[in-house]
Every structure is written in structure tokens, then in C-alpha cells.
Amino acid sequence: MSDALLRDLARRAGIHTDWTDYRGTARSVAPATLRHILAAMALPADSPGDIARSLHRLDDAAAGHTAPPLVTADAGKPVALPVGEIGASRGQLILEDGSRRDVVLDAGPEGRPQMAAIAEPGYHRLIQDHRETVLAVAPPRCFGIADIAPRRRPWGLAAQIYGVRRRGDGGIGDLGGVAVLAEAAARHGADLLALSPCHALFAAEPGRAGPYSPSSRLFLNVLHGDPSLVLGQDRVAGAIAAAGVAEILERCEPAGLIDWAHAGAARLEVLRALFDALDGEPEDCARFRRHAGPALEDHARFEALHAAERGRGGEWSWRRWPEPLRDATSPAVAAFAAEHAREVAFHAFLQWIAHRSREAAQRRAREAGMRIGLMADLAVGMDGDGSHAWSRPGDVMTGLAVGAPPDLINGVGQNWGLTTFSPPALVTGGFAPFLATLRAAMRDAGGVRIDHVMGLARLWLVPEGASATDGAYITYPVTDLLRLVALESHRHRAIVVGEDLGTVEPAFRRQLDRRGVHGMRVLWFEKDERGFLPPAAWTRDAAAMTTTHDLPTVAGWWLDSDIRLRGAIAGRPDGDPAELADRADARAALWRAFQASGAAAGPPPPAGPPATDQVVDAAIRHVARARSRLMILPVEDALGLGDQPNLPGTIDEHPNWRRRLPTDAGQVLDAAPVAARLRTIQRERTRR
């Protein structure tokens, strides 16, 4: 079989058949990898006949023989229709508000049909020859800072939900604590509280707590719900007594690190006791369940099935369950759901508690004076063994994992163990899964951070069982996706921040800028060959930050904590001498930048406590002076902590996703040094 035909099919399907590694060496993707990715895109390529049929399928789509159900467009610009053959030159446009108008279809660029511009953003319908196409007409830019706070440069804090403390939380941070922290931050002038992902994980195994490896991004982590916000504290107290877990909760609550397995199991027992004590399903829960529809029912069925399989010693992955249970639409799954209807209802009840908790937290944040409120975090993908992949396998790239090719930091590349959407399935499905995911993230939030935003344009995918080096980039319909982001942003009045750290093509950054997606500018990376950049040189349409959850805190960076930690894992507890020497030079350069910006004066303090407080103060002042429209300060830096929440590339070597804040959410920002730092930010961000 000709590799040339295979590579032609791959390129037509949006797969990059060649790439250049970080050394500048040209690399070609192996034929086996191309076949694997094509198969996941429902384009078989195992034989010349397969390739011919797959090419024919692509040709049909390009010619418009299989018209997509949704087409995106820009408000005020002609609407290009990807249909090659038009049965009529006229049609009827039904706007979202119900008004109708007749339209004429003309030949546009390259002979493709187009219609006159639509000024009104929204989801409209084009009826033509008894065929209906949804036209998603986007505003020019996302809902932005200027729409919320004209002529202002707002700021906020970033926190890990699980790490927030409140009295009675039983050892795991929840949305009740988030509400209290948001109110506390608002008192200091903050306009937003950016949160770690709150996506649904796996209730059957609460010890699997990585927030960026969700079972589904359509639903929430039930361990972060606060039932006292929904059902009242008295009922919760009664449920704790009925469940007999008071001792476990009291033991877990004061700990500095979360015991996910025990604290999570205890919290689920409390939630089950609450559910069992109910006299029927609360009307609001029933209403929530009806509104959420089949997607919630599928998720609840998965959770019940997963727990049952694990309870009998069965497989973790649904792909190794008994064959009838692998298909969410099978009679066997329907029979299980009917037989275990109460268990399915329990998992729907858990989602009701979590969603109403998030609503309450956002409401309290806004009532406290925050202009934006909560900012959600949208993970780049989901666990292929989770509920989304089980219930909607046609949405995802089964057998492939998202990752990254080798780079200077990680010479063997990365495999994040996540699946993601199939580009052809997005187009043929009218972008339904992407829209559902966006709406789930923006619901009850004033903003969203899109993790690895480059994934809207391309992703590195690795076949299961292969090395991360043996992957390939695939292309996504970025123009369509960014239009949908802008449209949903306005409909939810949610600002959008895209995590654009690392290697990002300049052309893509320009696309983000045009669409009003704010990038992230982090202190450690804001430098050029001359040193760290002055605040006036930072990007204007971006969120300025001291650090992120994956990077060292300011105190940890100054103390070389991250270098020594990585060294200890590699068997060199003192750290790599070359890295330490580079960090010493970087410390000197950073302090010079602080002096130049007026954030610090005098000689740099030594690399040790308590001198790090002086460095933290200077770093916060420096970043607060950035010309960026938005500033987000991780709460770890507000408190001057030395440990970062996550150390990439580790599992058990570092307590990832387990660290708790030192004091309760209502008081954590009131300590004198912390309050002084927040006053500094407020003063700098309101300075003209």
C-alpha cells in the first residue's frame, strides 16, 4: 500500500504528517500513527480500498453533499455557506427572535454560495429547499473587561477549590467555602475569584482527585457541593449523625493535606444520608433533573454502573465491562437503570446539590460587589474511561490521548491520558458537544479560563500504548470554535481567558486577540534577551499573574524549592548545580527588574526566610503595575506560601491537589501582611 496515498488522506483529514522538533529537526509521522488517528476519526486506512472510501467521504463533505447542521459566521459580514450544490437561489431566514426574512444566495469567493450579512448575533435558522441549517452568528469579540468595567483594570484571586477551608467542611474545600472566600476578597476590592476545575470526577473512587482529568466536563465534582447551602445546616448535622462519620470528618478537617479517599468517602456517606432522609424528590431537584435531560441521566447511570462494577470487583474502565454494558443505549443498561432507579436518582441528586451550590457561590460573590465573580476553569479534555466517553463515544477520539511533543523541559514528550473531541464529529454534529461543554463551564460564572487554549487550533495526539514522541498534531476548525466561544461568552456575560503559555504560534495569538480572548502573562516568562520585562511592556489584553498552579510560587522560586524538589525526586536532594546557578542569575535579574519598575529598592534579600516576604511584596507590586487589563493573583502568593499546588510530571512524589490553605476562608486574607498586599494591588490597579 502506498504511503503517499495514506499521507494524502491524513493531510486532507487535518493531520500534520510532518513536524519540527524543539531541536529544529524535521520529523515525519509514522504510518502506523496516521492509521490509528484516522481510524479514531472514522476514516479507515488499513487498505487501498479503505483509503479510497475515506477520501470519497471527505470529497462528499467538501462538495456539500453532506451539509453540516450548523454553520458559523460573523455578525455584519456575508455568510459563507459550505454547500456546493444549492437547490434554490432563495431561502428564508428565521432569526432567533422569531422574525423572518427572505434571503438570496449568491456565488461568493471560489464559487461557494453566500448570503447577505446578518447584523444580529445569535442562533438563526436558514430554510432552503426543505433543508434547515443553523447559522451561529458571532459578535466580533468575546464579552470583555470593557463591557464589565469600562476604564478600569480589575483584579482578583485564584484559588484551588479543594484547598479552601471553612468550618465544618470535613477536610475538603467546597463551594460554601468558595462563597466565603469570594466575599472576603470582595471586601479587599477584588472583582473575581478564579477557581480550579470543578468538573465531575468519579464518585466510585474519591481518591482519584486530579481536577484536570474529569469523567465529564458537563457536570460537577459532587465532593465540592455544599449541601448546607441547599438543604440547611440542621439537615446536614442530622445526616452526619445518621451516617456515623462525625469522627472521620473531625479528624480530616484540620489536616494540612487532604485525605481524599477517607474524607471523600465520608462526605458521600453524608450526602447519601441526606438523600435517604428526604420525603420524595424535592421539586427543585426534579425540575433540575428534567431541565438537564438525557445528558444527566446518562451521567447518573454511569456513576451507578461504575460503583456497581467496582463494588463487585469489576474493571475500572467501562471499555472492559461486560459487552452489553459498554453501550449506554443498550437494553442491558436500560434494565440496570430501571432496577437501580433509586441509585441513579441519588447521583442526579448529587449533581443538583453541586449545581445549586455553585449558583449560590456566584450569587454571593456578585452581591458582595464583585463585577465578575467566579471564573471557571475548562480542562483540555476528559478521561477516556469516564462518563462522557461512555455515553457519547462518537464525540471523542477513542484510543488516543492528548499530550505534547518533546521539548527542552521534557525530552520524551508528554501524555496527559485524556481524550478529546473528534474534529469531523464536531462538524457533522453541529458542534453540539463543544457547545454543551462551553455552556456548562460558563453557567453560573462570570468568566472561564480555557486550559491549553491552543487546543482550539491543534492538539498533539498519541495512540494508546505509544510513546509521546510517536504522536501527531491534528487540526481543529479554529475559526468556528472561536466564533462559538465569542457568541456563548456574550450570552453568558462571561469573560474568557486562554492559557497560552509555552510555544504558541504568533498567528494564533493574533486570532485570540481579535476575538477578545485574554492570554495569560506570568512573571517567570515575561522576559527577553535583556532580562525581565517592565510592567509597561506586558500585553494589554491579557491576565497578568505572578505564577500558576503548575509553577513555583514566588517564595518557592526565590528559595529554589522547585529545583530541589525535582532534584530530590531524581536522587539529587541538593538540586541540579547548573539549574541552581541559572536561578541565582535569574534572581539577580528579577530584583533588578523590580528596582527598575519601582516595586523594590535596595539590594536583593538573601534566598531564605523571612526575606521572602520582601520578594513576594515586590513581585505583587511589579505585576500589579502591568498594563494588562486584568490581574489574577494566586492565593498562595497572597499568603506568601512556598509550596505549589501541583508539580507536573509527578504522581505520588509530591502531594499534588492536596494542599489546604492555612486558615478559614473568612479570615485567610485578613492577616496584616496579606491585607497589605491586597491594598497594594487595589492601589496600583486603580491608579490612572
Q: Model confidence at 83, in pLDDT bands (50, 70, 90)?
A: low
Residues 223 and 279 in one domain: yes
Q: Is residue 331 part of a domain?
A: yes
Average pLDDT over residues 199-210: 96
For residue 48, CA distances in Å to 34, 51, 59 come to 14, 5, 16
CATH number of domain containing 94: 2.60.40
Residues 32 and 95 in one domain: no
Q: Model confidence at 688, in pLDDT bands (50, 70, 90)?
A: low
Q: Is residue 244 part of a domain?
A: yes
8 Å CB contact between 35 and 472:
no
Please give the residue that has the higher pLDDT: either 274 or 22. Answer: 274
pLDDT at 85: 44
In this predicted structure, the answer to whether residue 497 has a pLDDT above a threshold of 80 is: yes
Rounded CA gap, 39 and 294, in Å? 28
Residues 272 and 339 in one domain: yes
Last residue of a domain, one of 84, 116, 138: 138
The per-residue DSSP string of 196-221 comes to ---EE--TT-TT---TTS-SEEEEE-
Residues 223 and 338 in one domain: yes
Q: Report residue 32 as a C-alpha cell.
A: 502506523
Long-range contacts (CB closer than 8 Å, 24 or more residues apart) made by 108-113: 108/78, 108/80, 109/80, 112/80, 112/81, 112/82, 112/83, 112/84, 113/80, 113/81, 113/83, 113/86
Q: Report residue 386 as a C-alpha cell.
A: 469516564
In this predicted structure, the answer to whether residue 595 has a pLDDT above a threshold of 50 is: yes
Rounded CA gap, 475 and 403, in Å? 14
Of the candidates 542, 531, 553, the residue with the CA atom closest to the CA atom of residue 504: 542
Residues 357 and 284 in one domain: yes
* 133-180 confidence digits (pLDDT tens): 999 999 999 999 999 988 899 999 999 999 999 999 999 999 999 999
CB crowding 400-422: b at 16 or more within 10 Å, else e = bbbbbbbeeeeeebbbbbbbbbb
Q: Model confidence at 431, in pLDDT bands (50, 70, 90)?
A: very high
Residues 274 and 340 in one domain: yes
* 9-53 confidence digits (pLDDT tens): 999 999 999 998 888 889 999 999 999 999 999 999 999 999 999
Find the helix or strand (DSSP H, E) in which 51 lies: helix 48-63
Tell the burial category of 664 from Cβ atoms under 10 Å away from its Cβ (0-12, 13-18, 19+).
middle
Residues 353 and 249 in one domain: yes
Residues 11 and 110 in one domain: no
pLDDT at 605: 87
Last residue of a domain, one of 138, 153, 185: 138
Average pLDDT over residues 109-119: 86
Q: Report residue 604 as a C-alpha cell.
A: 536583593
Range of the domain at 269: 215-362
Q: Is residue 633 part of a domain?
A: no
Residues 56 and 82 in one domain: no
Residues 227 and 278 in one domain: yes
pLDDT at 407: 76
Coil vs helix vs strand at 318? helix
Beta strand 630-634 with 155-159 is parallel
What's the domain count of the chain? 3
For residue 84, CA distances in Å to 102, 114, 394, 498 come to 21, 11, 26, 35
Of the candidates 49, 44, 17, the residue with the CA atom closest to the CA atom of residue 30: 17
Average pLDDT value for the chain: 94
Q: Model confidence at 221, in pLDDT bands (50, 70, 90)?
A: very high
Residues 115 and 248 in one domain: no
Residues 257 and 350 in one domain: yes
Q: Report residue 297 as a C-alpha cell.
A: 441521566
Global pTM reads 0.96
Q: Is residue 657 part of a domain?
A: no
Q: Is residue 12 part of a domain?
A: yes
